[in-house]
Structure 1
Amino acid sequence: MTESETEYLGVRIRAYRNMRQMTVRGLAAEAKASASFISQLERGQTSASIGMLRRIAGALGITVADLFNEQDEVGHRVVRRAERPELPTKPGTRKYLISQRPLQNLEMYAGELDPGASTGDEPYAHGDSQEIFLILRGQVTLWLGPADSAAPHVLAPGDSVEYRTSIPHRVVNDGDETAEVLWTIGPPTPA
């Protein structure tokens, strides 16, 4: 890499780290590197191996390609409903990524749950971010807490619940119509 490319890479890493509200030490710990190495990399004073760039990108919740992509500086991105990336989910459910990669300050997902469908048999947790769950259509039950002591919240259109992503949670469509929901998470949870 040229000197200017090394400097550009450092600027990008610092920008993503700041977006994630991570310290140099925090990123270093996640990427299994020293804080001084990350600091030198951000200042363009050293370069990194592909393996290290993968670990750094993973810790930032992005891809290695995102570190070099000059196109994502655009102020806005339009995502048509038909073009939303669909994520793998349980039968009877569909989950779509609304916020496009690389994720910056938040991540948002749209979901559809057929009658009787759920996000899984067991509650799940991910990271420790703020999550807002909003019901657009239908009626669902959101279970918050460990499986043996989870508290149910019956939610109708327009209802929302806010919680930490570290709290185990599970959604069940107990209604008789397909439910549409939104999950908004900030800052984005690690990939």
Structure 2
Amino acid sequence: MNLEKVGARITKIMAQKGISLEVLAERTGLESGFLKRLQEEDIYPSLGPLLKIARSLGVRLGTFLDDQISEDPLIIRKSDRKGELSMLRAKDRPVASRFYSLGRGKTDRHMEPFFIELLPESGKEIKLSSHEGEEFIVVIDGEVEVVYGKKTHRLLAGDSIYYNSVVPHHVGSFGDSAASIYAVLYFPE
């Protein structure tokens, strides 16, 4: 199993395509300092910036997650899940969530399914993100707060939400306890 980190994969793809850090920053609208930090440290941005990077490099978001090719059907056992993505809240802030890809290895996929652990948020300053596509979320455990545009929704275990992810949004645990969700993201080709 290839455990190459997302920063290393981005660097490798940039080298293959002859794209400099400055060009990638210009194409994505992201700061070059942020991209350099992403390349050098074991961190993952939220899905919005990661999607911008994928699009700018001409690859699927899954390219940063895939480590082996599987045949249909793809089965991911709960015992085989590994915390592979830890998304930052903001610069120099603790990790906000842990993503476990449930589609890793299926190279012809059109959706990105995840099991996500949402960690309690310290401080209420949240940054909304937006990107092309749609998201479908089911709360498994805990209480989840979804900021969607100017509205805030609280979801409990068993609740779901489906939305257009072009609208600025944020998904996080509510209160002092962690929460867990299944999320399926769709990005148009």
TM-score computed with the length of structure 1 as normaliser: 0.54
Matched, 1:88 2:92: no
Query: Where does residue 33 of structure 2 map in the other structure?
Result: none
Determine the structure 2 residue equivalent to 1:134. 138
Distance 1:56 1:114 in 2: 30
Q: Secondary structure at the match of 2:87?
A: coil
Which structure carries more relative contact order (alpha carbon 8 Å, separation 6+)?
Answer: 1
CA distance in 2, matches of 1:62, 1:111: 16
Cα distance, 1:117 vs structure 2: 5.7
**Contact 2:96–2:119 at 8 Å: present in 1 too?**
yes
Question: How far does residue 85 in structure 1 lie from its aligned partner after superposition?
Answer: 5.5
What's the CA shift for 1:164?
0.9
**CA-based RMSD:** 3.4
**Between Structure 1 and Structure 2, whose CA radius of gyration is higher?**
1
Deviations 1:52-75 (A, max 9, x none): 9x9998255565xx9xx9x55x22
**1:1-191 paired onto structure 2 within 5 Å:** 51=17, 58-61=58-61, 63=63, 72=70, 74-81=71-78, 82-84=80-82, 86-90=84-88, 91-101=95-105, 102-116=107-121, 121-127=126-132, 129-145=133-149, 150-186=150-186, 188=187
Determine helix, strand or coil for the equivalent of 1:152: strand
Unaligned stretches of 5+ residues in structure 2: 1-15, 19-53, 89-94
Report the alpha carbon displacement of residue 138 of structure 1 after superposing the two structures with TM: 0.2
% identity of equivalent residues: 24
* TM-score (norm. length: structure 2): 0.55
| Greater than 4 Å deviation, 4+ residue runs | 54-57, 59-63
1:182–1:62 Cα change, 3 Å: closer
Please say if residues 124 and 170 of structure 1, whose CA atoms lie closer than 8 Å, have aligned partners that are also in contact.
Answer: yes
1:97–1:56 Cα change, 3 Å: same
